[in-house]
Amino acid sequence: MKRTGHALRIVTCMMLLAMAGAQPTFAKTIVVKFIGGFQKAVNDAEAGDTVLVTNGMYTTGTDILVTKAGTADKPIIIMAQTAGQVELTGLGGISLANGARYVIVSGFKFTHSSSRARSTAGTSFCRWTRNIFENEGAGEDLTIAGSDHEIDHNTFLNKKSMGRYIAIRGEGKQIAERLWIHHNYFYNFEFQGGANGAEALQFGLSGLSMSKSNSIVEYNLFEECHGENELISVKASNVTLRYNTIRNCKAQFTLRHGNFCEVYGNYFHNTPGLRIFGDDHHVYSNYFEVCSTGINIGNGDGEVADGAALTCHDRPDRVLIAFNTLSNCKSNITMSARDKGMGATKITVAHNIVKGGGPAAVIAGPYTGAVWMGNFIFNTESKGDMPDATFSTVDPKLGRGASQAIHLLKGSPAIDAVPAPKGKKAENPFSMIKVDMDGQPRKSPLDAGADEFSTEPAKAGLLNPADVGADGKL
């Protein structure tokens, strides 16, 4: 683990009970001291009870199956005596199965076989928190198929086989709904030789991609992950991905299938950036620095709305790419060539700042109905394919602040560069853009690029390992 020597946060029973809310006096603590008693303890637990597993290593032969239900005020808590000091190894893991509701799993180190930790279809309102996943063999570290779950402050590390750290599934044709995935640390996923199926986070499948998830993925840190060419693969609709940091990963954040995703406030440093397929996405207030590619507009090979297979590279339509900052990227805004590619339609590229690096834009496919406006490019190799009269070449005046990210400096021409629409009935094409890359509110007239020049407290920024994961401080 990258943070060798960092003491894991001690999570006491009382602290976790406080997180869950006030417990009635009759709630009991069931202590587990050997593997043979673990399943019985779970079976005996009722709403409000705590299953407390004493420190040590426990070798499983089968899954610990959880089908019991707590309540919002009285969850069932399954927790380690000391966070990180209870290791589950062997053939089985903790499986939250049909009927499990309001169950919290906290403080474990999972080194058992892959694909054994999961929340199946039919589960809801459960939480995986403060766990370490370092599973053996091919498969997923954690699979979520039920809805209304929270996955937070976990560490996923040192994956050496095919599979995913987290795989989001669903039931039938419906993706899991209303998930909250936050403050997790994904580290050191070894390259698997080019085969598909080794993402750090796979959110959905092709057959689920037209269903709405209404989930949030935020404040997660990805470092040194390169299982395959896709780091995060979103195959679902209506997913918000915000305030995540992706650093030193050779794999790409991809909107692969699905529509209506919101991607904002993310930090990309030394990665292949973001690739976009599907329709009606909003990509704004993101920060890209020294990336091999910044923003890659997918060159589609099918149109799902016209009946193409869900597995195709769905032509991007009506995607907004606005108010992003790209600094010293080898390739900035691009569309790659594809044999018989369908390109993209009605893409808006507006009020971005592109400073340094390769050509500002390289478009190698059709892009009918595109709108380019109000961009800043400075010290790039060339304007490339960015149309004339859609950009300014003045210095946007960027400087590196205490957060180590580049921000607007006082006097920047990008400040207040985007006036509000005139007239009572004037349509505002940027009404959805409420915050900048720091989570600070945007105020009209808006500033170009990912940063809004502001004295408001920052609510987001570049994440570091100490901020997130099983012993994260945020």
pLDDT in tens, 334-356: 999 999 999 999 999 999 999 99
Q: Does the pLDDT at position 2 exceed 90?
A: no
The bridge status of strand 180-182 relative to strand 166-168 is: unpaired
Number of C-beta neighbours around residue 177 at 10 A: 18
Q: How confident is the model at residue 17 (pLDDT cuts 50, 70, 90)?
A: very low
Would you say residue 404 lies in a domain? yes
Separation of alpha carbons 45 and 69, rounded Å: 9
Would you say residue 195 lies in a domain? yes
Q: Does the pLDDT at position 98 exceed 60?
A: yes
> Residues near 411 by Cβ (< 8 Å), separated by ≥ 6?
397
Nearest to 166 by CA among 117, 236, 124, 108: 117
Q: Is 193 exposed, middle or buried (0-12, 13-18, 19+ CB in 10 A)?
A: exposed
3-state secondary structure of 466: helix
Would you say residue 262 lies in a domain? yes
Separation of alpha carbons 205 and 176, rounded Å: 11
Dihedral sign from CA coordinates of 106, 189, 271, 168: negative
Amino acid symbol at 462? L
Please report, for the domain that includes residue 409, its CATH number: 2.160.20.10
What is the biggest distance separating any 2 CA atoms in the chain, rounded to whole angstroms? 73
Q: Does the pLDDT at position 8 exceed 60?
A: no
Would you say residue 105 lies in a domain? no
Number of domains in the chain: 1
Number of C-beta neighbours around residue 307 at 10 A: 7
Q: Does the pLDDT at position 73 exceed 90?
A: yes
Q: Does the pLDDT at position 9 exceed 90?
A: no
> Residues near 425 by Cβ (< 8 Å), separated by ≥ 6?
none
**pLDDT tens digit sequence for 116-166:** 999 999 999 999 999 999 999 999 999 999 999 999 999 999 999 999 999
**pLDDT tens digit sequence for 179-231:** 999 999 999 999 999 999 999 999 999 999 999 999 999 999 999 999 999 99
Nearest to 285 by CA among 263, 267, 269, 265: 265
- The model's pTM is 0.94
**By residue range, what is the domain housing residue 170?**
137-467
Nearest to 197 by CA among 167, 156, 152, 223: 167
Query: Hey, which residues does 264 pair with through a beta bridge?
Result: 242, 284
Distances (CA, A) of 141 to 14, 158, 239, 388: 28, 11, 21, 49
Residue pair 210/232 in contact by the 8 Å Cβ criterion: no
Please give the backbone phi and psi of residue 142, each rounded to the nearest 5 degrees, phi first. Answer: -145, 130
Would you say residue 16 lies in a domain? no
Would you say residue 70 lies in a domain? no
Would you say residue 44 lies in a domain? no
Residue pair 413/242 in contact by the 8 Å Cβ criterion: no
Two structure tokens written together for 181: 């995935």
For residue 153, the number of C-alpha atoms closer than 13 Å in the C-beta half-sphere is 20
CA angle in degrees (0–180, nearest 5) for 287-4-229: 40
Two structure tokens written together for 379: 């010290």
Would you say residue 67 lies in a domain? no
Poorest-confidence range of 308-312, 371-375, 402-406?
402-406
pLDDT of residue 277: 99
